[in-house]
Structure 1
Amino acid sequence: MNAFLRKRFPLLLSILSGLLMWAGWPTSPLTFLVFIGLVPLLAVTDRVKDGRTYFGLVFLAFWIWNTGTTWWVGNTTVPASGIFANAFNALLMTIPWWGYKRAIARAGRLTGYFALVVYWLTFEYIHQQWELSWPWLTLGNAFAMRPGWVQWYEYTGTMGGSLWVLLMNILVYQAWRRGQHEPGWFFLWKEGWKPLLLLILPLAASFFVITGESETSEPSKKVVIVQPNIDPYDEKFSDGAAMDQLHKFLALTQAKIDTGTRFVIWPETALFPQGAWEHLLNDQPEIMAVRAFLARYPKVKIVTGASTFRRYLPSDEVPSTARVLNGEIYYDAFNSSIQIDTSLNIQVYHKAKLVPGVELTPYMRYLPFMKKLALDMGGISGSYGLTPGVPIFFNPDEQCNIFTAICYESVYGDFVAEKVRQGANLLVVCTNDGWWGDTEGHRQHLQYARLRAIETRRWVARSANTGISAFISPRGEVIDAQSYWQPAVIEHAVTPYYHQTFYVKYGSLAAKAPLIFCILLVAYTIVLRVIRKQYVENI
């Protein structure tokens, strides 16, 4: 290698790492590239001694990966929001690698690898919990298009996939390092078998998990999904359009509904695009029209997205998200889902995982003057409320309890598993991915729902305003996926399952293990530094 390339080799490695991770991410068919996508960064860690240069190179790799896979988040009225989101997420991803660099320098290679795994898994765990959450690029999501590879997610969730990716990259890099000093065949015999074994074992486990499943005799429920294809920018939130859109929903529903239907699913914010007071829902013309329609099908329940308002009484504790009307009425706006039937009982669920910068101004309770800074994407603007509604829709008459993941919520494995622990035996996704246009956004979002099905072994009924609507089986198989930007209505018989997977029961506890190890590692590093400092001073 000449001097010119040798000097710039770490930069080339950084770029290569970002490109490999991008090329291996859904919806690319080159999934296997994620098993080597971080190898160049491991080489950069060994080659670059200067801390600032190293930090910059790692950030560059993650910025390329973020931008290549999620550039579409800036496909809004404020493109700068996407630039900031990709750069900020890349910056956060760089922090675990900075910790790895310091660990390998202070405690050796084996401890460094252990630290990298612990720091990265801790980062992924925190990134699902705080208000700046963006778990779209959780490493375990890489296998969303390969459900046959990860049927064991019912035991580990996506954390198991993230661990698989990290360990594969580490073993491939170690084999490559040692292979520099060994003859080819001897190298393959001595080192190459390790990453090969780690690759084969999870694939074999996935096969045995599938073959070991038993058929259920539980009765199925006929479900109808509507995809209305209403433009979210120019049509959906326009004044006076609510009833016209409702008529479209009812007409599409009529094409598939019959006396055997039990549930009809409509997408996010299908009702009340301008908002409706929750204590007055039964008086809304849309609700009365829906009930008149359901009079012909009294056993049907409609699960739909809606925009709602909750008013707080003087005796209530007013949350920091509350808005003020006429200087005296405090209320919250919610991205909700509701279940409607022929009774007067309307169950209302409030979206809990809000999109930072669009639906939520992070940590607004500490910075109340920033309350109105959430992006205006049409309809109700400003930060939404976080006051809980019902956790799931209970239907004892049908023995079918539904959790409705609203849009972004379907990316959160732990959150969905929590709802299954609370009794949900059918998962619904109500979403409106039309904000991002015909980009990879809506395709990736569909694929991620396959992982939720595998983790919980629940059917998923996905209604997307502009697509892609589909059914997803408990094995992660996509059924009857509809074309993007086309109105559609589909039906399928789904089975509400009752057993809980290992991940549903214990996954939240396992996810905290890296956090505990991270705290211990940081404490160990601090103690070691203090001891060394005291030792040097005493010499």
Structure 2
Amino acid sequence: MSDRFAWSVLLCAAGTWLGFANPLLHLPVLALVLPMSLAWLGLQARSLRQAFFRGWLAASAGYAAALYWVSIPVHEFGSLPWIAAVPCPILLGLYLGLYAGLFCLALAWAAPRTGWPVLILLAWTLWASLEYIREILLTGFPWLGLAQAFAPWPVFLQAVSVLGAHGFSGLLAGIGVGFVLGVHRPRALIAPAAALCGLTLFGVWHIQHPALTQQSINLPAALIQGNIEQGLKWDPAFQRQTLNRYLRMSRNAVREHGAELVVWPETAIPFYVQENTELSTKLRSFCRNHQVALFTGAPGYSLRDGGTEVVSHNLVYLFGPDGLVRGTYTKEHLVPFGEYIPFGSYLPFITRMVQGVGDFRPGDRTAPLEYKDLALGGLICYEVIFSGLVQHRVAAGANLLINVSNDAWFGRSSGPRQHLHQAVLRSIEQGRGMLRATNTGVSAIIDPQGRILQSTTLFAPETLQADSLPAGHGRTFFSRHYHLLRAAFFLLAAIAMLWIRMHNPGKPQPDHTCGKHTQRHER
């Protein structure tokens, strides 16, 4: 391994770690180091094989560094020793790095065959397509998309409402490639510079015209972050204390701020609400006595095969002020190795290794839960990272999104903040505000432009109050043309590659320098 390649790997890892949320210093612009490093490696590669291999390793180092926190839940709650937990983010990084390796390979193939305009277009559309594939392949893991890094800068992200997060990430990748090409060909700097200016100007305009999507609903609400220790949450002896804490904090919100809607996190209730027990009766009495609606996560079950099979579910319930259930939503995208074991019946040794994993079954209902003027689109835990799931909620009529989660699994790491940044993207994509209630943080209220209006700290019992809710009406360009946009990026990437191949039928050898690649085909 050459010294230059070793330094590029270290630079890619450091830039990716600092570019995404981390416990030290988050500088979003450094996320561009990832596509820029891949472009440099691809343009310098001596062969397509070398381009793929080096791009794969460099990106894998960056992804693994940013996903270091994955080892925490694997060790703390999966009962695996550190020697087995530490490789998990590395393996996950190696998987995500495969997509980056393909991106690097494509640039190495295209660079000696075409000029910088087509190369930037290919970078944009190919990166967007690869991110979308990451969302759907092998149950999907669209974490650490480039757009996610810029969540603290919502003004810059407003074009997500037009392009979607994946399309925006592709544009960022194209910008990074343009800057690398511009080192030797100054005219190539025109495109990325113009794109940055255009994104900023559009963002300022879009922020100043919230009437396009925003609609405040005057309904006082409260988000309760109970901060229940994960080790005690499912202890039967602690069920009463858990419920009492949430009830106490909710009563204060109703008494002091007049909340009419209270939101509790994922599985805030560690018992079966559907059973007529003392605790479930106490819960319903709270709603009746205070005339408040309650949106809360809870475990549930159903009976199948004539009542002989008990099937577990992860649900949210909407209780009305009369204490009756107005509707439920069952989580439809379960966490592999967290809520179920993929291929568990064929790989029994995996089940034995991760005995703390649940065995849940998904639901299939996407209709919003309605209360007064609200049509609440429910999202449980990491469902918020899937743009397709959120698209279904809004298409079904949701005017406000509610994400309930339990990020205690992540510990005091960058995981909760990275999760929050995904929620920001979903709000911008759909032009919908979001209430995000978590057990230990970060809970937040997000407006349709992706601005975090309020948020909590980690591992502290806190309450967020809102006099009105940032709902949305109408549909963004991305929401209206969701399927068309997804197809367009794949189609444009294919057209770009076909055009390159048809206009350059030969197989020229790389010149091994970024400058010569672009000089040969400068128009």
TM-score normalised over the length of structure 2? 0.84
- Residue 160 (str. 1) matches residue 167 (str. 2): yes
Distance in 2 of aligned mates of 1:217 and 1:35: 34
Distance in 2 of aligned mates of 1:16 and 1:177: 21
Which residue in 2 is equivalent to 1:21?
16
- Residue 297 (str. 1) matches residue 277 (str. 2): no
Q: Could you tell me which of 3, 7, 12 is aligned with 1:8?
A: 3
Alignment of 1:215-294 (within 5 A): 219-232=217-230, 234-258=231-255, 260-272=258-270, 276=272, 281=274, 283-294=276-287
Count, aligned residues: 491
Which residue in 1 is equivalent to 2:443?
469
State the SS of the aligned residue for 2:472: coil
Distance in 1 of aligned mates of 2:204 and 2:352: 45
Q: Quote the offset at 1:172 in angstroms.
A: 0.6
Q: Could you tell me which of 23, 27, 30 is aligned with 2:27?
A: 30
Q: Quote the offset at 1:22 in angstroms.
A: 2.5
Q: Could you tell me which of 103, 119, 127 is aligned with 1:120?
A: 127
Distance in 1 of aligned mates of 2:62 and 2:263: 35
Query: Among the aligned pairs, what percent are the same residue?
Result: 22
State the SS of the aligned residue for 2:93: helix
Alignment of 1:347-358 (within 5 A): 347-358=327-338
- Residue 81 (str. 1) matches residue 74 (str. 2): no
- Residue 173 (str. 1) matches residue 180 (str. 2): yes
Higher relative contact order (CA 8 A, sep 6+): 2
State the SS of the aligned residue for 1:332: strand
Distance 1:253 1:375, change over 3 A: farther
Distance in 2 of aligned mates of 1:133 and 1:72: 19
**Higher mean Cα deviation, 304-313 or 36-45?**
36-45
Distance 1:285 1:99, change over 3 A: farther
Alignment of 1:434-449 (within 5 A): 434-449=408-423
Q: Quote the offset at 1:504 in angstroms.
A: 1.9
Which residue in 2 is equivalent to 1:40?
37
Is residue 433–residue 470 contact of structure 2 (8 Å, CA) maintained in 1?
yes
- Partner AA of 2:375 in structure 1: N
- Partner AA of 1:478 in structure 2: I
| Structure 2 gaps, min length 5 | 508-523
Alignment root-mean-square deviation, CA: 3.1
Distance in 1 of aligned mates of 2:398 and 2:354: 31
| Structure 1 gaps, min length 5 | 179-186, 315-327, 534-539
Which residue in 2 is equivalent to 1:507?
482
Q: Quote the offset at 1:105 in angstroms.
A: 5.7
Distance 1:195 1:130, change over 3 A: closer
Alignment of 1:50-449 (within 5 A): 50-76=47-73, 77=75, 78=80, 79=85, 80-104=87-111, 113-178=120-185, 187=186, 190-214=187-211, 219-232=217-230, 234-258=231-255, 260-272=258-270, 276=272, 281=274, 283-298=276-291, 300-314=292-306, 329-341=308-320, 342-362=322-342, 364=343, 368-370=345-347, 373=350, 381-389=357-365, 391-395=367-371, 398-449=372-423
Is residue 133–residue 356 contact of structure 1 (8 Å, CA) maintained in 2?
no
Q: Quote the offset at 1:192 in angstroms.
A: 3.9
Is residue 161–residue 430 contact of structure 2 (8 Å, CA) maintained in 1?
yes
Distance in 1 of aligned mates of 2:493 and 2:190: 30
Is residue 433–residue 466 contact of structure 1 (8 Å, CA) maintained in 2?
yes
Q: Quote the offset at 1:495 in angstroms.
A: 4.0
Distance 1:197 1:51, change over 3 A: closer
Is residue 405–residue 439 contact of structure 2 (8 Å, CA) maintained in 1?
yes
- Partner AA of 1:312 in structure 2: R
Q: Quote the offset at 1:480 in angstroms.
A: 3.2
State the SS of the aligned residue for 1:137: coil
**Which string of whole-angstrom CA distances, capped at 9 and with x for unpartnered residues, describes residues 248-286 of structure 1?**
11111111114943211111111235xx3xxx8152443
**Which string of whole-angstrom CA distances, capped at 9 and with x for unpartnered residues, describes residues 183-227 of structure 1?**
xxxx4xx45444222211110011111223339775411111111
Q: Quote the offset at 1:92 in angstroms.
A: 3.7
Distance 1:46 1:495, change over 3 A: closer
**Higher mean Cα deviation, 138-147 or 442-451?**
442-451
State the SS of the aligned residue for 1:348: strand
Is residue 75–residue 82 contact of structure 1 (8 Å, CA) maintained in 2?
no
**Higher mean Cα deviation, 110-119 or 87-96?**
110-119
Q: Quote the offset at 1:107 in angstroms.
A: 6.7
Q: Quote the offset at 1:51 in angstroms.
A: 4.3
**Higher mean Cα deviation, 335-344 or 426-435?**
335-344
